[in-house]
């Protein structure tokens, strides 16, 4: 089981976002930089939250922004954005968010290996705080268990 | 035993719930199949499910069901999953 690619271009640390939409757009831009998605994937990630609510905040301080596989996904990819000031997504328990993951999956039938690898990282309850505090891209890749 | 996890996309968050629920069920020695679906596919997938795992946002949309609907707050907290699954299945 391995994570989708997480190159340095898909990691942004200490970013500032005025609200949850801006935070999701930063993760979307990171996925575009790494070549995983087209810019329109950002809008789809935002639409998922507008439609279904802030359920993407799946753990305290962590949002997993994602949409369905489709034509705006060019390849599997992961992005990580940390925020200098956390933003609220409107989640009853897990706000505010300081780490936004962007996830793009090209084929639905292969997503479970990718999310299983994510679960391996985040079942360690220190992982979110470590990411939020990370000061270099290499730190983030090490926490995520990515070698590059 | 059939368990369904739900999210908006049917990938991503529901997949994480599935993976972690399977880990917990294995530890509890409970034999169950866990399926991750999106809200649109729920009606079919949940017809014979005993348990639905999801976030608070989806409870209303799930509507009437014979399954136990369990709301998970922290998808990565296997202790929370263990506690809630044990309470529902025990």
| Closest-CA distance of chain A to residue B72, Å | 9
**Which member of A52, A66, A91, A93 is catalytic?**
A66
Cβ contact (<8 Å) for B11 and A60? no
Counted across chains A and B, CB pairs separated by less than 8 A come out at: 84
- The DSSP output letter for A110 is G
- The DSSP output letter for A124 is S
Tokens, residue A79: 């992005």
pLDDT averaged over every residue in chain B: 91
Kindly list the residues from chain A whose CB atom is less than 8 angstroms away from the CB atom of residue B19. 112, 115-116, 119
What is the reported pLDDT for A148?
56
Q: Which fold has domain A8-143?
A: Mannitol-specific EII; Chain A (3.40.930)
Question: Which sign does the torsion angle of CA B78, B5, A108, A81 carry?
Answer: negative
| Cα three-residue angle B49-B54-B60, rounded to 5 degrees | 90
CA distance B27 to B39: 28
Domain CATH code at residue B18: 3.40.50.2300
For A49-101, the pLDDT digits (tens) are 999 999 999 999 999 999 999 999 999 999 999 999 999 999 999 999 999 99
Tell me whether residue B83 is in a domain: no
| Closest-CA distance of chain A to residue B77, Å | 6
Cβ contact (<8 Å) for B8 and A64? no
pLDDT averaged over every residue in chain A: 95
Cβ contact (<8 Å) for B11 and A115? yes
Q: How much is the pTM? A: 0.94
Domains in chain B: how many in total? 1
Tell me whether residue B69 is in a domain: yes
Tell me whether residue B89 is in a domain: no
Quick one: CA torsion of A138, A46, A52, A36, rounded to 10 degrees? -50
For B16-40, the pLDDT digits (tens) are 999 999 999 999 999 999 999 988 8
Annotated catalytic residue A93: no
Q: ω into residue B13 within 30 of 0, thus cis?
A: no
Cβ contact (<8 Å) for A93 and B9? no
Tell me which residue has tokens 């649109």: B40
Strands in A62-66's sheet, in edge-to-edge order, are A11-15, A77-87, A97-104, A62-66
Listed by start position, the domains of chain A span 8-143
Q: Quick one: closest CA in B to A44, which residue?
A: B9
Interface of B with A (CB under 8 A): 7-13, 15-16, 18-20, 23, 36, 38-39, 54-58, 61, 73-78
Cβ contact (<8 Å) for A56 and B74? no
B13 vs A51, A58, A116: nearest CB: A58
Q: What is the largest CA-CA distance in chain A?
A: 37
Question: Which sign does the torsion angle of CA B74, B79, B81, B85 carry?
Answer: negative
Tell me whether residue B36 is in a domain: yes
User: ipTM score here?
Assistant: 0.89
For A94-147, the pLDDT digits (tens) are 999 999 999 999 988 878 888 999 999 999 999 999 999 999 999 999 999 987
Domain that holds residue B69: 2-76
């Amino acid at each position: 089981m391995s994570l989708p690619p997480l190159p340095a271009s898909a990691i942004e640390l200490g970013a500032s976002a005025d609200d949850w939409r801006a935070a999701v757009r930063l993760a979307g831009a990171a996925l575009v930089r790494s070549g995983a998605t087209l810019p329109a994937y950002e809008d789809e990630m935002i639409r998922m939250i507008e439609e279904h609510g802030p359920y993407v905040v799946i753990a305290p301080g962590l949002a997993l922004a994602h949409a369905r596989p489709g034509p705006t996904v060019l390849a599997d990819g992961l992005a990580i954005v940390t925020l200098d000031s956390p933003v609220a997504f409107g989640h009853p328990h897990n706000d505010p968010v300081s780490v936004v993951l962007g996830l793009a999956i090209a084929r639905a039938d292969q997503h479970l290996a990718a999310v299983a690898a994510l679960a391996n990282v985040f079942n360690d309850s220190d992982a979110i705080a470590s990411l939020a505090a990370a000061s270099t891209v290499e730190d983030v890749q090490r926490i995520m268990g990515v070698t590059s | 035993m059939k368990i369904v996890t739900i999210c908006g996309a049917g990938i991503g968050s529901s997949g994480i719930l599935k993976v972690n629920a399977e880990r917990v069920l294995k530890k509890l020695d409970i034999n169950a199949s866990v399926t991750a679906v999106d809200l649109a596919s729920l009606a079919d997938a949940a017809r014979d499910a005993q348990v639905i795992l999801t976030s608070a946002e989806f409870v209303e949309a799930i509507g009437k069901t014979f399954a136990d609907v369990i709301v998970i707050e922290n998808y990565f907290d296997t202790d929370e999953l263990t506690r809630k699954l044990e309470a529902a299945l025990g």
